[in-house]
Amino acid sequence: DADVTQTPRNRITKTGKRIMLECSQTKGHDRMYWYRQDPGLGLRLIYYSFDVKDINKGEISDGYSVSRQAQAKFSLSLESAIPNQTALYFCATSDRFYEQYFGPGTRLTVT
């Protein structure tokens, strides 16, 4: 089984809808992250959490919110989806500060 799982893997939604992306990990790491990948821009950090009670904004947090339900679970929500949030979303975990372990990604399309 994969160490970091993301659900759903693909999602198409309409503008204005609320959507939640979920991430679970079995690595026992305290630190979890959400990134988005856009063509030509690499991965950009949306939110990160260093433990269950710690939530921090990344460089592109506007329009997103997160919830750290447990050490192993970190969810990303789009309260009112817009087309420019169409992207590939990755969850990642780490135990040390630097090396991160990524999930397989969620491809989100907002029409």
Task: Tell me which residues touch another protein (CB under 8 A).
Answer: 4, 35, 40-45, 48, 50, 56, 90, 92, 97-105
Strands 31-38, 19-25: pairing kind: unpaired
| Alpha-carbon torsion, ordered 108, 5, 20, 89, to 10 deg | -40
Least distance (Å) between residue 19 CB and another protein: 20
**Nearest CA-CA partner of 70 in 21, 104, 25:** 25
Query: How many other CB atoms sit within 10 Å of the CB of residue 43?
Result: 16
Choose between 43 and 52: whose C-beta lies nearer to another protein.
43
Choose between 81 and 91: whose C-beta lies nearer to another protein.
91
Least distance (Å) between residue 57 CB and another protein: 10
Choose between 17 and 64: whose C-beta lies nearer to another protein.
64
